[in-house]
Amino acid sequence: MLTEELMQGAQKYLMDTYTRYPLALARGQGTRVYDVEGREYLDFLAGVAVNVLGHCHPKVTQALQQQALRLVHTSNLFYTEPQVKLARTLADHSFADKVFFSNSGAEANEAAIKLARRWAHTKDGAGRFEIVSMLNSFHGRTLATLTATGQEKVQQGFEPLPEGFPHVPFNDVDALASAVSAKTAAVLVEPVQGEGGVRVATPAFLQACRDITKERGALLIFDEVQTGIGRTGRLFAYEHFGVIPDIMTLAKGLGCGMPIGACLATDEVATVFTPGSHGSTLGGNPLACAAALAVLEVILEDMDILGHCTEMGEYFMKGLKDLQGRCPVITDVQGLGLMIGIEVTMDARELVHDLRKRGILINATSERKLRFVPPLIVTHAEIDRVVTTLGDVIEARR
């Protein structure tokens, strides 16, 4: 089917929950995707920070093919080897002892919220239930996670929202200290805000999150749905800061395109989840776990991928900051590893449109902010092309 046919079909049959680009993609390989008419695009969106190893990585594809021939789904009433292996790999390479698998980042965060509330209830009774999160954060679109999200635009029309989700400004230690009280079950924070415009937490703020929660008997949850699995140059972003949470959530890059989320926790916290307290029919199914295990094996067996991500991230940041020096339209450049955002004084969505017409895919997180989250295998030449083309489209619109 051609792009126009697919657009018409989507308009007729799909609920209108996305502002889609006029582009129908048919296949991908590495850092490139191709539309149904055969046009090639350099993908610096990567499924919104999902395709960390690029499109159709051979080891991930092989793992999917082999597992699909054996067992696609059973039930969590039974044990499967891919699930246990994946949980062990995540625990072995993180602070955590136990893992709960779901299908998405929102579900992983939902599990984290429930786990924190149940832990607090078990420890201190029903009065400790609040989850303090950050303004401009994003944690998902279930009722609980959109309430935890510090953006009113995703909450509108879904009121009344669940109670117990106060918000404080990101990187504001004093506001955090004032908000955490005897009612607080946990503080929920992204080490790098993604949908909020790629804003990096300061080390002092994350350390304060740890110190304040520990002092006041609350838990610390890191939402690493977007930052996890190598995106920042470390397997997990918390490693940059030396601050260890009690709970961490993952998704996006974990499956490199397969739907999977994970909620990781220490033994002390995880023990409050008992049979029947939480679950997911499809969470941790053999097919998704086989893909995720292959992703981790590639990254852990070839640690140069993380070093490459760090090198390319620094190179990309330098290129964008040099461009900022020549283009006053760019007012800010922030990022960590290959998770980078810039703020502009013109309509960011128009720049996204212009870049797409020139064969480059990115997205805008707001009217003034662009996000770049390419696969970790991106090259110097590809980064040069994006920086140069971005400069060209900015100049063309001035």
Active site residues: 138, 223, 252
Q: How many Å apart are CA 198 and CA 342, to the nearest integer?
A: 8
Residue type, 385: R
277 Rama sector, left if φ>0, alpha if ψ -120 to 50, beta otherwise:
alpha
Q: How many Å apart are CA 320 and CA 309, to the nearest integer?
A: 16
User: Which 3-state string (H, E, C) describes 272-293?
Assistant: CCCCCCCCCCCCCCHHHHHHHH
Q: Which of 6, 3, 11 is nearest to 39 (CA)?
A: 3
* Residue 380 in tokens: 């110097």
Q: How many Å apart are CA 391 and CA 388, to the nearest integer?
A: 5
Q: Angle of helix 286-301 relative to helix 304-326, nearest 10 degrees? A: 80
Q: How many Å apart are CA 354 and CA 357, to the nearest integer?
A: 5
Residue type, 223: D
